[in-house]
């Protein structure tokens, strides 16, 4: 029987699995949709993964988001134990999902990044870190996607409101960062797959918005990367251990710096601006792992 690719589905990123499943059909690759929210895992005596349709037995697994789905983390780790191959290991994806862990890994690998301070969820500590950087600052939770749980503060009043809003979501560390780019509301999204840059766009925030996320109404256009930007994006993916990643860069006065690393980037909005079939690239490079084993 031919190899089967498991295409994971997550409510936070519905477009990517649809694109990957379509790519599998175009390429004639056998695939199975894996619903992360219904996975159950037997841990002992015989590890195994099941969903509503029975055992999940796949040879390859697509890139995955784990936000608030601890049972999916266990399932993917068991699939790894069983020999399932994937561009992004469970541990690498978890690191990318945790912005503080990402910052530490980038620092260890000497990858240029936006300055970051982690503090407890206490306004006085958040204020102390913000004052050290100088306004405006960005504060965010250590986990989040598509611009969620990220706030801009231009003074103490905005910082207090932003901190309170983030704390409403529950306890946890808060990250404080200066505005690192030359222009607020501008960033570069780079897709790196199997160690190579596959696509890049320059993103701008919509009117009245400071985040450049496409989901928040931002726009994008193709952009030419400098050699330093290409090298930085690849180095960031390697530092986290990701075979597929979306790297957000800022063009600062001192040169490019990494803002965030995403383990399951929504590349579908970029397809009009690139020549490559990005979904097909992900599937082909995932299948290529079989040739390397």
Q: How many CA atoms lie within 13 A of 178 on its CB side?
A: 13
Q: Could you tell me if 100 and 241 lie in one domain?
A: yes
pLDDT in tens, 52-87: 889 999 999 999 988 778 889 999 999 999 999 999
Predicted pLDDT at 286? 97
Q: Same domain for 100 and 222?
A: yes
What CATH number is associated with residue 22?
Answer: 3.40.50.20
Task: Give the end of a domain, one of 178, 196, 216.
Answer: 178
Residues 206 and 153 grouped into a single domain = no
Angle value at C-alpha 293, between 242 and 75, nearest 5 degrees: 55
For the chain, 293 residues long, the average pLDDT of each consecutive 10-residue run is 89 89 97 93 94 93 87 95 97 94 98 96 94 96 76 96 87 89 89 97 90 87 97 98 98 94 94 93 95 63
* Sign of the four-CA dihedral 89, 94, 95, 97: positive
Tens of pLDDT, residues 16-60: 999 999 999 999 999 999 999 899 999 999 999 999 889 999 999
222: domain CATH number is 3.30.470.20
Q: What local confidence, expressed as pLDDT, does residue 293 receive?
A: 55
Q: Report the pLDDT value the prediction gives residue 119, as an integer from 0 to 100.
A: 95
Domain count, the chain: 3
In 165-230 the beta strands, taken as DSSP E runs, fall at 174-178, 186-193, 196-204, 219-222
Q: Who's near 254: CB < 8 A, 6+ residues apart?
A: none
Residue 79 lies in a domain: yes
46/167 same-domain check: no
Q: Which pLDDT score is estimated for 292?
A: 66
Does residue 107 share a domain with residue 191? yes
β-bridge partners, 200: 190
- Evaluate whether residue 270 is within a structural domain: no
Other residues' Cβ atoms within 10 Å of the Cβ of residue 28 = 7
Q: Specify the pTM.
A: 0.94
**Tokens 């590890």 — which residue?**
47
Q: Within 13 Å of residue 251, how many CA atoms lie on the same side as its CB?
A: 18
Q: In whole angstroms, what is the distance from residue 175 CA to residue 126 CA?
A: 8
In a domain, 173, yes or no: yes
One domain, residues 105 and 236: yes
> Which domain covers residue 141, as residue numbers?
117-178
User: Are residue 166 and residue 226 in the same domain, yes or no?
Assistant: no
**DSSP string of 247-289?**
EEEEEETTEEEEEEEESS---GGGGGG-SS-HHHHHHHHHHHH
Distance separating alpha carbons of residues 34 and 56, to the nearest angstrom: 8
pLDDT at residue 69, rounded to an integer: 83
CATH code, 129:
3.30.1490.20
Q: For residue 53, give every residue at least 6 positions away whose Cβ sits within 8 Å of its Cβ, in sequence order, or none.
A: none
Please indicate, yes or no, whether residues 170 and 189 belong to a single structural domain of this protein.
Answer: no
């Amino acid at each position: 029987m031919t190899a089967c690719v498991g295409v994971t589905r997550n409510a936070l990123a519905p477009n990517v699995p649809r694109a990957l499943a379509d790519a599998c059909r175009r390429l004639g690759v056998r695939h199975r949709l894996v619903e992360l929210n219904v996975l159950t895992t037997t841990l002992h005596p015989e590890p195994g993964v099941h969903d509503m349709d029975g055992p999940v037995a796949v040879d390859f697994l697509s890139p995955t988001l784990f936000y608030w789905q601890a049972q999916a983390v266990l399932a993917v780790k068991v699939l790894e134990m069983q020999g399932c191959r994937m561009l992004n290991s469970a541990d690498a994806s978890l690191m990318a999902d945790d912005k503080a862990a990402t910052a530490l890994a980038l620092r260890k690998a000497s990858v240029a990044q936006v300055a970051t301070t982690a503090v407890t969820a206490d306004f006085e500590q958040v204020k102390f870190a913000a004052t050290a950087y100088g306004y405006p600052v960005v504060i965010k939770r250590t986990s989040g996607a598509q611009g969620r749980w990220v706030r801009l503060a231009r003074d103490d009043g905005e910082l207090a409101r932003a901190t309170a809003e983030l704390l409403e979501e529950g306890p946890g560390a808060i990250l404080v960062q200066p505005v690192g780019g030359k222009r607020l509301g501008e960033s570069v999204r780079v897709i790196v797959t199997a160690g190579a840059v596959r696509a890049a766009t320059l993103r701008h925030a919509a009117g009245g918005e400071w985040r450049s996320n496409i989901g928040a109404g931002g726009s994008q256009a193709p952009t030419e990367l400098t050699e330093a930007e290409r090298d930085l994006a690849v180095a960031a993916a390697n530092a986290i251990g990701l075979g597929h990643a979306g790297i957000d860069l800022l063009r600062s006065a001192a040169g490019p710096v990494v803002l965030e690393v995403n383990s399951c980037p929504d590349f579908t909005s970029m397809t009009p601006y690139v020549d490559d079939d990005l979904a097909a690239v992900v599937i082909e490079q995932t299948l290529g792992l079989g040739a390397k084993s």
